């Protein structure tokens, strides 16, 4: 009866192998080992001649039953892996793409403004963020007793100097290096020790414009700024200049743009005034020309300074300046150019 016992043992081993299979390949190998043409069951069948004739029929029946049972067991086990096959990628789907980076909204605004003034002949200029007293204050006609020099208004650097509190320092560096005519745009970071809240930050961004020539007038400044306002806010935009004060310009003005968000009917953005404050500007003070060795009798010029952060907030409806420096991708991804 040992052949019957061997068949029983083989059947048990084959069942164990179907349970242990961890993949379709495991299962195929096990099936071939037991049920294949030269598999173990067929080998056992070859030994049927060892049995007495009376038992051969019964053994043949037992062998067929075992084969049928194991074939069914392998098929059942194969269904375990059918799900995995479905998870393979559908070859008809478009390929996964890597997310593309995009320019920071401040950079986009900087490029947009540089493009507008570029059409008027302004070239982009740069200067250091670590400045000295002369370029940040003295040459800009900011006397030693001016409140802007207060330690609470600037970051002093260990070993002397300071972090520039305005991009106007680039005006001075440019005029030191070049002779008129000059038309430059100086974008960059500026630093003031302000407490951080929704509208203030110790690190913010300006874009400064400077034009110097022998015949530059306030009318040139005004037409230049009107062109900018219309390119930025649309053809319907109007501007107005309000008298103001900056140490390095005389006369000085704040420029407002008519509120394009409400058509001057009054809204939250213009605080119901119909006007939005956009920039500061003015005609270069003769004292600034003297500091850089230009003859104030010969040259005239104008300058303007735009808050980049404010422009982004205004045009994109951002209500918290901190979003511009927090590097939160959920925010930045909304500015895909």
Contacts with Zn ion, residue ranges (CB under 5 A): 259, 261-262, 267, 270
Provide, rounded to whole angstroms, the least separation between the CB of residue 151 and Zn ion. 38
- CA 337 – CA 115 distance, rounded (Å): 15
CB 261, min distance to Zn ion, A: 5
HEC assignment per residue over 85-153: HHCCCCCCCCCCCCCCCCCCHHHHHHHHHHHHHHCCCCEECCCCCEECHHHHCHHHCCCCCCHHHCHHH
Pairing of strands 123-124, 182-191: parallel
Nearer to Zn ion, 120 or 262 (CB): 262
Q: Between 119 and 271, name the residue whose CB sits nearer to Zn ion.
A: 271
Task: Pick the closer one to Zn ion by CB: 4 or 275.
Answer: 275
In the complex, the smallest distance separating the C-beta of residue 182 from Zn ion, rounded to whole angstroms, is 36
Of 41 and 259, which has the nearer Cβ to Zn ion?
259
In terms of Cα–Cα distance, which of 206, 169, 182, 186 is closest to 302?
182
Where is 290: in which H helix or E strand? Answer: helix 286-291
Strand runs (DSSP E) across the chain, as ranges?
Answer: 123-124, 130-131, 155-156, 162-163, 182-191, 203-213, 239-246, 249-258, 275-284, 300-307
Q: How far is the CB of 236 from Zn ion (least distance, A)?
A: 13
Tokens of 12: 């048990």
Cβ nearer to Zn ion, comparing 255 with 270: 270
Q: Measured from the CB atom, is 207 or 276 closer to Zn ion?
A: 276
CA-to-CA distance for 205 and 328, rounded, in angstroms?
18
User: Closer CB to Zn ion, residue 278 or residue 283?
Assistant: 278
- Closer residue to Zn ion, CB minimum distance, 155 or 275: 275
Least distance CB 112 / Zn ion (angstroms): 21
Q: Which of these, 104, 178, 180, 169, lies nearest to 136 by C-alpha position?
A: 169
Q: In what order do the strands lie in the sheet with 239-246?
A: 123-124, 182-191, 203-213, 300-307, 275-284, 249-258, 239-246
Cα 235 to the center of its chain, rounded Å? 30
- CB of 277: closest distance to Zn ion in angstroms? 12
Minimal distance in Å, beta carbon 258 to Zn ion?
A: 9
Per the CB < 8 A criterion, the answer to whether 337 and 255 are in contact is no
82 SS3 class? helix
Cβ at position 233, least distance to Zn ion in Å: 11
Pick between residue 60 and residue 266 the one whose CB is nearest to Zn ion: 266
Burial class (CB in 10 A: 0-12, 13-18, 19+), 302: buried
The minimum distance between CB 271 and Zn ion, in angstroms, equals 8
Cα–Cα distance for residue pair 179/171, rounded to 1 Å: 12
């Amino acid at each position: 009866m040992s052949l019957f016992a061997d068949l029983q043992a083989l059947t048990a081993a084959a069942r164990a192998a179907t349970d242990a299979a961890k993949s379709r390949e495991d299962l195929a190998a096990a099936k071939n080992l037991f049920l294949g043409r030269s598999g173990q069951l067929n080998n056992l069948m070859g030994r049927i001649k060892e049995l007495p004739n009376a038992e051969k029929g019964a053994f043949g029946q037992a062998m067929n039953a075992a084969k049928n049972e194991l074939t069914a067991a392998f098929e059942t086990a194969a269904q375990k892996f059918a799900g995995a096959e479905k998870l393979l990628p559908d070859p008809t789907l478009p390929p996964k793409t890597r997310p593309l980076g995009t320019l920071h909204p401040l950079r986009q605004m900087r490029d947009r403004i540089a493009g507008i003034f570029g059409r008027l002949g302004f070239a982009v200029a740069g200067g250091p963020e670590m400045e000295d007293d002369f370029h940040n204050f003295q040459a800009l006609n900011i006397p030693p007793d001016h409140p802007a020099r207060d330690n609470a208004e600037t970051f002093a650097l260990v070993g002397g100097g300071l972090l520039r509190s305005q991009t106007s320092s680039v005006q001075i560096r440019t005029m030191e290096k070049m002779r008129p005519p000059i038309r430059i745009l100086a974008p960059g970071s500026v630093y003031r020790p302000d407490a951080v809240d929704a509208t203030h930050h110790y690190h913010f961004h300006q874009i400064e414009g400077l034009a110097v020539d022998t015949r530059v007038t306030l009318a040139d400044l005004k037409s230049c700024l009107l062109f900018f306002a219309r390119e930025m806010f649309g053809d319907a935009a109007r501007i107005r200049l309000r008298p103001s004060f900056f140490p390095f310009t005389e006369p000085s003005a704040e420029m407002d743009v008519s509120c394009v968000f409400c058509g001057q009917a009054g809204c939250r953005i213009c605080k119901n005034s119909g006007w939005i404050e956009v920039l500061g500007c003015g005609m270069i003070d003769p004292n600034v020309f003297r500091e850089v060795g230009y003859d104030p009798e010969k040259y005239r010029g104008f300058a303007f300074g735009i808050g980049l952060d404010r422009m982004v907030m205004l045009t994109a409806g951002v209500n918290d300046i901190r979003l511009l420096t927090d590097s939160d991708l959920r925010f930045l991804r909304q500015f895909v150019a």
